[in-house]
């Protein structure tokens, strides 16, 4: 039964790809858009008072748009109720979308904006008294990460580029800079 349903779906898709002209001839429909897909990777450091290390891998769709996955390590310091610093370490996983606004025909310089959404996972909290600190995160906590990173990119050679800009996110407020290829 599964094979029959699969065969019927294939037949419907093949028939749907053809149209009949006024003279009765069968013609194929043209493809609407062609995309120039190529991989794009970045490594970046972001932060103000704490450090974020992120790597991203995605697909550059047409030279102007990139979508993919961003993974990161987040090292921050929280204060307990007594005022002592407590280190908190977590990892993040985000889906991102990047849009380039090229300057000039050679596309050497460009403004860009990264928008990402995902989650963080706290895996280590420094030594503290858990009964007294009800506002500190605990290992195993999971939360939402939303961020926006606009910036300026300069291409050095082919797709090797450096970038710099502000970072406005739920896990980071400060600057980000990095290298991409």
Quote the CA–CA distance of 161 and 100 in Å, as a whole number. 13
Phi and psi at residue 147, in whole multiples of 5°? -155, 160
Quote the CA–CA distance of 83 and 70 in Å, as a whole number. 33
pLDDT of residue 2: 56
pLDDT of residue 109: 96
Tens of pLDDT, residues 40-86: 999 999 887 778 899 999 999 888 999 999 999 988 887 777 777 78
| Position 3 confidence tier, pLDDT thresholds 50, 70, 90 | low
Q: Is the pTM of this model over 0.85?
A: no
Task: Tell me which of 7 and 105 has the higher pLDDT.
Answer: 105
CA 104 from centroid of its chain's CA atoms: 26
Tens of pLDDT, residues 122-169: 988 877 666 656 677 888 899 999 999 999 999 999 889 999 999 998
For 16, the token pair is: 């749907």
pLDDT of residue 21: 44
């Amino acid at each position: 039964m599964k094979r029959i349903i699969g065969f019927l779906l294939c037949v419907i898709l093949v028939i749907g790809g053809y149209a009949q002209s006024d003279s009765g001839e069968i013609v194929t429909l043209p493809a609407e858009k062609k995309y120039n897909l190529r991989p794009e990777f970045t490594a970046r450091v972001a932060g103000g008072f704490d450090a974020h290390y992120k790597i991203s891998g995605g697909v550059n769709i047409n030279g102007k748009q990139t979508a993919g996955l961003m993974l990161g390590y987040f090292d921050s310091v929280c204060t307990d109720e007594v005022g002592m610093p407590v280190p908190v370490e977590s990892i993040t996983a985000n889906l991102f979308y990047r849009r380039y606004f090229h300057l000039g025909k050679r596309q050497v310089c460009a403004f860009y904006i990264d928008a990402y959404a995902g989650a963080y996972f706290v895996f280590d909290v420094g030594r503290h008294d858990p009964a007294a600190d009800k506002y500190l995160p605990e290992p195993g906590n999971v939360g939402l990460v939303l961020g926006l990173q606009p910036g300026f990119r300069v291409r050095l050679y082919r797709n090797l580029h450096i970038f710099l800009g502000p970072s406005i996110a739920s896990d980071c407020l400060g600057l980000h800079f990095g290298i991409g290829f």
